[in-house]
Amino acid sequence: DSLINKIAAGEVVERPASVLKELIENALDAKADRIEIKVEKGGKKLIELKDNGTGIHPDDVLEAVNRYTTSKISSIEDIYSIESYGFRGEALSSISSVSLFSLISRQAEFPLGKELIIEGGNFKHLSDTGAPVGTTVRVKNLFFNTPARERFLKSEKTELKHIIDVFIRYAIYHNDKYFKLNIDGKDLYILNPSKREERIKNIFPKIDQTVQFLEENHTGKAYGYISPETRTGKGYIYINGRPVKNSILSRIIKSKIGESFYTLFLELPPYFVDFNVHPAKIDVRFRKEKPVHELVKKALETLEKPQISF
């Protein structure tokens, strides 16, 4: 079982940033509105996430790190109506099989929480513990027991870049939540709940002007912000709340706005989108491409009408 998990871990856990992605998604799925992250040495030494979500029932803590254990779907049909980020039940089992892993969790209706420790997939410890309501997951020495994969990691600086990118992607979308990112003992971001426009400006202090766009038709809804003066060539795309990458969409956007910074939020019927290219990848394919492209083009044209009010 431990070997199977180690192999499976390669699917979900590619690098520290993929660990962070899974932990953030779990916190959000648990309805947390305070998410505090600590990272050391590009995440190679430590990735820790503390949330104030619902927590895990004391009887379920051990089960949560078992492979294919998810509390989020109960039938295969649920996959098509899923509103949570996770549903495969692979993340915690994979992560805990290739790290020194600890999880502390408490639900509001219990006076005590549980602390679980797993080292390289081996159970070490489970006990009652005092804890605030919510969950703290600590992932130390990622890939310590899979040296080949450890060597495959890039420099601390590069891994940190990926970590910050993941953090920013979720922090932009979940502007109504408190997010904090501490890197090697220093707070890099402290983001209080705010409007999305303000959140973007808090993350990117260089952005001072944003213009909005919005279009809604039978396909769905597309809206977002452009910062015409911030010519970074960077952009963030979301579909139904998931950060995604799609090269054709990025190209369409660039052809309209050049190198301007942008965010694009798409709301589409779930059957339009195929998220399952790869569990750890955020590349997305559309089952119906044309209508999505048309929707985005139309939305960007609304930029040219400055009198529009939202």
26 belongs to the binding site for Mg ion (CB under 5 A): yes
Q: Is 91 in the site for Mg ion (CB under 5 A)?
A: yes
Question: Which amino acid, 83?
Answer: E
Q: Which of 86, 113, 134, 243 binds Mg ion (CB under 5 A)?
A: 86
Q: Which does 88 bind (CB under 5 to 8 A by kind): Mg ion, ligand ADP, none?
A: ligand ADP
Residue pair 52/133 in contact by the 8 Å Cβ criterion: yes
Interacting partner of 56 out of Mg ion, ligand ADP, none (Cβ under 5 to 8 A depending on kind): ligand ADP
Among 43, 86, 120, 243, binds ligand ADP (CB under 6 A): 86
- Minimum distance, C-beta of residue 22 to ligand ADP, in the bound complex (Å): 6
The span of 48-56, 116-124, 191-199, 250-258 binding ligand ADP (CB under 6 A) equals 48-56
Does 57 bind ligand ADP (CB under 6 A)? Our answer is: no
- The binder of 177, among Mg ion, ligand ADP, none, by C-beta within 5 to 8 A per type, is none
* Beta carbon nearer to ligand ADP, 59 or 307: 59
CB of 123 to ligand ADP, least distance (A): 16
Q: Which helix or strand (DSSP H or E) is residue 80 part of?
A: helix 78-81
84 CA to centre of own chain: 11
In this structure, the strands spanning 113-119 and 122-129 are: antiparallel
- Provide CB contacts within 8 A for 221, sequence distance 6+: 214, 215, 265, 266, 267
Interaction between residue 135 and ligand ADP (CB under 6 A): yes
Element (H, E) at 150: helix 147-152
Distance CA 32, CA 36 (A): 10
CB-neighbour burial class of residue 262 (10 A; exposed 0-12, middle 13-18, buried 19+): buried
Q: Which of residues 27-46 bind ligand ADP (CB under 6 A)?
A: 27, 30
Stretch that binds ligand ADP, among 24-32, 34-42, 193-201, 248-256 (CB under 6 A): 24-32
- We find the least distance from the C-beta atom of residue 64 to ligand ADP, in angstroms, to be 3
CB of 223 to ligand ADP, least distance (A): 28
**CA–CA dist 149, 230 (Å, integer):** 37
Determine the interface stretch with ligand ADP among 85-93, 178-186, 211-219, 281-289 (rule: CB under 6 A).
Answer: 85-93
Residue 29 contacts residue 297 (beta carbons within 8 Å)? no
Query: By C-beta, is 21 or 196 nearer to Mg ion?
Result: 21
Here the tokens at position 4 are: 């199977």
Q: Does the footprint of Mg ion cover residue 145 (CB under 5 A)?
A: no
Q: Which of 115, 112, 20, 118 is nearest to 66 (CA)?
A: 118
Strands 211-216 and 100-106: unpaired
| Residue labelled with tokens 């089960």 | 63
Burial of 56 (0-12, 13-18, 19+ CB in 10 A): buried
Positions that interact with Mg ion (CB under 5 A): 26, 86, 91
Binding site for ligand ADP (CB under 6 A): 22, 26-27, 30, 51, 53-56, 64, 69-72, 86-93, 135
